[in-house]
Structure 1
Amino acid sequence: MISDTLDSLEERMKAAERESGDGKRRSEVQWPIFRIHHQRSRYIYDLFYVQKAISRELYDYCVREGYADAHLIAKWRKPGYEYLCCLRCIQTANQNFGTSCICRVPSRDLEPGKIIECIPCGCRGCASCDFKNE
């Protein structure tokens, strides 16, 4: 059931790792890898916690084998972090002013029409309040 999707994501991950970084900033080269990693972890999270379609044993296997990020999933289960893009964006030690990343700022608090992309993973906004009305 899930092996087809995981295999497809694994192929996309390998293609992203092989991709040339010509014409891109150093941080931009890793963005597709972060997005696929997020997508793969979110897929496992949804199957286990939302749809309840897989067993605990299969979930644990996926985490143990590196198909899902247990730390990221643990954050998704906490209020305010349901849509977190990556763990680097909440680590204050990596930021200039000791705060979280710009992608964690709600869109209502940003300049209207301003498009942002965070440096670590290329996220354009993952504040939970931006997704509440969906």
Structure 2
Amino acid sequence: TKIGVSHSPPLFCRIHHQRTRYIYDLYYKREAISRELYEFCLATKIADAQLIAKWKKQGYENLCCLRCVQTRDTNFGTNCICRVPKSKLDADRVIECVHCGCRGCSG
């Protein structure tokens, strides 16, 4: 085996996404938590502030992780395969992100 950059397993990425989405929904959608509690969650890194900032932008509402929009991590300097709309891919082709295990977060 090679020793190098360790990749976090897709399970941890999904847990990170779900935890951040839960905090995001509590604050922005349901308005169930106070601003003080929301900012505490961001400050203590319970929720990912950068991922939430992306979710606020049009076209990134369902983004799975930040690595999928970083062009430096791909061979051709483009976004991850999970960011390609399913209508642009073959119907019988199953895609999965190598970083986080996402099967399509572009809609």
Give the alignment's TM-score, normalised by structure 2: 0.91
Runs (5+) with no aligned partner, structure 2: 1-5
Return the match for 1:55 from 17, 34, 53: 34
Tell me which residue corresponds to 1:17: none
Distance 2:31 2:84 in 1: 31
Structure holding more helix per residue: 1
Q: Distance in 1 between matches of 2:24 and 2:94?
A: 28
- What 5-or-longer segments of structure 1 have no aligned partner? 1-25
> What residue is the counterpart of 1:85 in the other structure?
64
Match of 2:20 in 1: 41
> How far off its partner does 1:102 sit?
0.1
Q: CA RMSD in A?
A: 1.2
Question: Which amino acid in 1 is paired with 2:39?
Answer: D
Higher relative contact order (CA 8 A, sep 6+): 2
Residue 113 of structure 1, CA deviation:
1.8
* TM-score normalised over the length of structure 1: 0.73
Provide the secondary structure at the position in 2 that maps to 1:124. Answer: coil
| 1:34-93 residue CA offsets vs partner (Å, 9 max, x unmatched) | 000000000000000111111110001111111100000000000000000000000001
Q: How does 1:6-17 map to 2 (within 5 A)?
A: none
Q: In structure 2, what is the equivalent of residue 108 of structure 1?
A: 87
Q: State the AA in 2 paired with 1:79.
A: Q
| Distance in 1 between residues matched to 2:57 and 2:37, nearest whole Å | 22
Distance in 2, matches of 1:63 and 1:32, equals 21
**Structure 1 consecutive aligned stretches of length 4 or more whose deviation exceeds 2 Å:** none
Q: 1:90-131 CA deviation, whole Å, 9 max, x = no partner?
A: 00011110000000000000011211001110100000xx2x
Equivalent position of 1:6 in the other structure: none
Write the letter of the residue equivalent to 1:64.
Answer: A
